[in-house]
Structure 1
Amino acid sequence: SQHCEAGARLATRLGMAESVRRSLAHAYERWDGKGYPAGLAADEVPVAVRIVTVARDAELWARRAGWAAATDVLLHRRGRAYDPAVVDAVVADGEHWLAGIGDDPCAAVLDAEPAPALTIESGNLDLALTAVADFADLKSPYLRGHSTGVSRLAVAAAEAAGLATADATTLGRAGLVHDVGRVGIPNGIWDRRGPLSAEQWERVRLHPYLGERVLHRCALLAPLADLAARHHERADGSGYHRGASGDQLGLGARLLGAADAYHAMTENRPHRPALTPAEAASQLLDEVDAGRFTRVEVDAVLDAAGQVSRPPRVSRPAGLTEREVDVLALIARGRTNKEVASVLVISPKTVGHHIEHIYTKAGVTTRAGATLFAMEHGLLSP
């Protein structure tokens, strides 16, 4: 029932005909009246539903077990789940029809659409893309409102970064559809509370690629495809799905990636609670220190989100990052790992990693040595 209602509402928002909306609203009805959501029977069931139900199962059984098995299933369900007239037509000619489908049935369906084809006027494009964004975010309760939130933040960040109005508009549209590929990944992965397996992580890394392929199928949306597909790429090449880096990532792609990262941090996820805006800002700046983002896109996103950035990064001794300097200053004054974590709003484990890096870079092995290094380089000044 939820699928039916969601499909019908999407059809309405996309301006589809009432016959399409009604068919989607009753997609699981049966000829014998034992379906749902309304228990329609016989000719009450929309004819499109009667045909699609038989065609769907005929293709599935033929692919999995052969046409003879498919025929047996259809005849067994004739007059029960299926309209007898539709079964008779498919049993008679279905094997021939299946053989002639070709390797791109989607294109064949579009080519067969009767005139006049439904089109979306340019003025309604944002409404249509927002409908698609909401539909994609239904994939998981943790994602509700994510795509529209990322889009709004990306547009505001583009304005803060000085992008032209047209470029900001394109970025906002890419933000709306950046996660359509999530629909192709099982819910069990998105809603998993524990660590992902290697195989599950590979599935996650596929979702920008799937979204890119979907968008490229539509000439109007193709210009958004490359930009939307780069929302998990990072400046140092550590992102996915292509591992793009540096000059391969334009400002728009970097802004979208930073907006997506910040917005996701402020949302609940199955493996962690939502961060506060200040905590998300701090983590995003840590990503700058690590080289995964640059200050340009992060400062623009934080400005758009109403968060304060750090002063511009200055050269630090031994290649220490700003966060490592923060940790060093606190441990030099006797703070424990747990106390440092509380002050900087990070985990004690992360503090431990920072301390390991500090020792390596400073060439010391004890806190006393680290403290002397900090004093020698004037890192304890207020």
Structure 2
Amino acid sequence: MDAARPAQFELRLAEVIAALSLATDLGMGQPLEFALRSCILAVRLGDALGWNDEQLREAYYQALMRYIGCNAETHMMAALYGDELLLRKEIALVDNANNIEVLSVIIRRIRQANQGASLVDVTKAIVRGIAESPEHVVKAFSSHCEVAQRLATRLGFSGRIVEALGQLYERWDGKGLPNHVKGEHVAPSVLLVTLVQDVVLFYQLGGIDAALNIARERRGTAYEPHMVDVFCTHAAQLLRGFDDELVWDRVLEIEPSQRVYLTSDQFDQACEAMADFADLKSPYTGGHSRAVASLVSTAADLCGLPPSDVLTLRRAGLLHDLGKVGISAGIWTKQGKLTDREWEQVRLHPYYTERVLKGSPALSLIGNLASLHHERLDGSGYHRGVIGAMLSPSARLLSVANAYQALTETRPHRDAISPDQAADHLRQQVRGGQLDSEAVNAVLNAAGHSIPHPRRDLTAGLSERELEVLRLVARGNSMKQIAQLLVISPKTVDNHIQRIYEKIGVSTRAAATLFAIERNLLS
């Protein structure tokens, strides 16, 4: 049954939470769609247990939202153990009440994180990690639960769904954290999803036999016995077709009880919650996404963009860094220079943002724009490396707003710079052909800088040198003549011409000449 749909807006709450679950997969070091698959199995197993629609709804959203607090304290995890994503991936395979197994993983991760260090330094790191782990684990798990509850409330949930998120790491035998809740005092949805997520994890590693083995092994300890018995009895049926399903579509199809459609304002609130979820990844980025959203939407309004484009830009500003959760906090908090491997990981985060949001049309539209926030007109940006002719006015504004905001914020490797210094830096990038001058003027105007009234940029992001070359090309000069006039090599001229053609979207001298004439660039 569907709830009344808001006029002119088509987005279900389940779509937003399903997208957010993909981000939590990244943050937990799990394959994408891990939470979605867990959701499917949770509903199937709950149905086999005879649960009613309300109970199934609790299990459905518990499976999708179990780790929405996962970004809390990640920088501390990375400081103690190295790459927290690898740590989480390994910890997920062991019984978290088995101290020997947990310590074995911790020691292995610390050694890996300290490769190349002296034996003395590695030993010190291991001793520190072991000594601080008990306090850190309790603090981290408590933080995860609290953050999850706060975010879920902001996403529109209440009652038992929110209460259950406070018991994420509790167990049937009372050996869970943070409060050692035991037996029937643990929310049924928590017990079910604890079992289901481990089953999915081991099924992906070793098939149905591995799933059955882990369920039986932890029966009566981590897992509620009756749930295990029902799963083992019906495992073949419950897991049938599990590898072949269109997971996103299936999750939306099986949502229990009444389907909830969001109003535009409710979706904005959800975007703000997701922005804060992403910014928690690093202590250096708190409030970053909100600030980018405010700046870019103001700039877009100053440029006279249609209200619908301004709204989409604001949402893209809020969601642009969702993909950062898939990169280790140790990279985002590193004080020194990034290695080539670390830099390659950083370059992936816009792609992850796009991937997380691509499931539904409304989210995909935002994700496509949000993923362009590090692109540059000359093709030097990432992750696509597209050129100016392929970047819309909205994309240009977003990249500038993100750059300006980041420059005025402290990062682990540098202090924040002043607004005036940030403005100078952006103008340098305009001169270098990386950023759009109109977009820079609009963003600086939105940020309160005193600048000339923004006017339409007619140069397609061409640098001053590229404009010189274009004028000479349009006036009929040969490559050799241009090289002599500018005192550069013919090969350099050719490189400039190819880049100019790419930026302005032409392939011939005549079309380039027409471009220059149309924009009055020859005077």
TM-score, normalised via structure 1 length:
0.77
Cα distance, 1:152 vs structure 2: 0.3
Cα distance, 1:69 vs structure 2: 4.1
Cα distance, 1:217 vs structure 2: 0.9
Cα distance, 1:149 vs structure 2: 0.3
**Who is 2:159 aligned against?**
18
Mean CA deviation greater in 57-66 or 25-34:
57-66
**Who is 1:307 aligned against?**
449
Q: 1:262 to 1:6 in 2, by over 3 A?
A: same
**Who is 1:224 aligned against?**
366
Cα distance, 1:88 vs structure 2: 1.4
Cα distance, 1:18 vs structure 2: 2.1
The letter of the residue matching 1:295 is S
- Aligned equivalents of 1:311 and 1:224: distance in 2? 29
**Who is 2:345 aligned against?**
203
- Aligned equivalents of 1:246 and 1:48: distance in 2? 50
- Aligned equivalents of 1:128 and 1:72: distance in 2? 39
| Residue of structure 1 aligned with 2:183, choices 42, 59, 62 | 42
The size of the alignment, in residue pairs, is: 319
Cα distance, 1:218 vs structure 2: 2.5
Deviations 1:321-370 (A, max 9, x none): 9xxxxxxxxxxxxxxxxxxxxxxxxxxxxxxxxxxxxxxx899xxxxxxx
Does 2:437 align with 1:295? Answer: yes
- Aligned equivalents of 1:87 and 1:17: distance in 2? 28
| Residue of structure 1 aligned with 2:428, choices 277, 282, 286 | 286
- Runs of 4+ residues deviating >6 angstroms: 310-313
Contact 1:31/1:82 (8 A) holds in 2: yes
| Residue correspondence of structure 1 range 1-382 to structure 2 within 5 A | 1-101=142-242, 102-309=244-451
The one of the two structures with greater contact order (alpha-carbon pairs below 8 A, sep at least 6) is 2
| Structure 1 spans left out of the alignment, 5+ residues | 314-318, 322-360, 364-382
**Who is 1:337 aligned against?**
none
Q: CA RMSD in A?
A: 2.4
Q: 1:71 to 1:164 in 2, by over 3 A?
A: closer
Q: Identity of paired residues, percent? A: 45
Mean CA deviation greater in 152-161 or 90-99:
90-99
TM-score, normalised via structure 2 length:
0.57
**Who is 1:369 aligned against?**
none
- Aligned equivalents of 2:285 and 2:235: distance in 1? 40
Cα distance, 1:132 vs structure 2: 1.0
Mean CA deviation greater in 182-191 or 247-256:
182-191
- Aligned equivalents of 2:346 and 2:203: distance in 1? 31
Does the residue aligned with 1:163 lie in a helix, a strand or coil?
coil
Cα distance, 1:109 vs structure 2: 2.2
Mean CA deviation greater in 40-49 or 217-226:
217-226
Deviations 1:184-209 (A, max 9, x none): 22222222222222222222111111
Deviations 1:227-273 (A, max 9, x none): 11111111111111111112211111101100000000111111111
Deviations 1:139-182 (A, max 9, x none): 11111101000000001111222223332222111111111111
Deviations 1:264-317 (A, max 9, x none): 01111111111111121111111112110021011111111112459999xxxx
- Aligned equivalents of 1:283 and 1:103: distance in 2? 49
The letter of the residue matching 2:220 is G
**Who is 2:78 aligned against?**
none
Q: 1:34 to 1:130 in 2, by over 3 A?
A: same
- Aligned equivalents of 2:190 and 2:412: distance in 1? 36
Contact 1:302/1:309 (8 A) holds in 2: yes
Q: 1:60 to 1:304 in 2, by over 3 A?
A: same
Does the residue aligned with 2:300 lie in a helix, a strand or coil?
helix
Contact 2:408/2:416 (8 A) holds in 1: yes
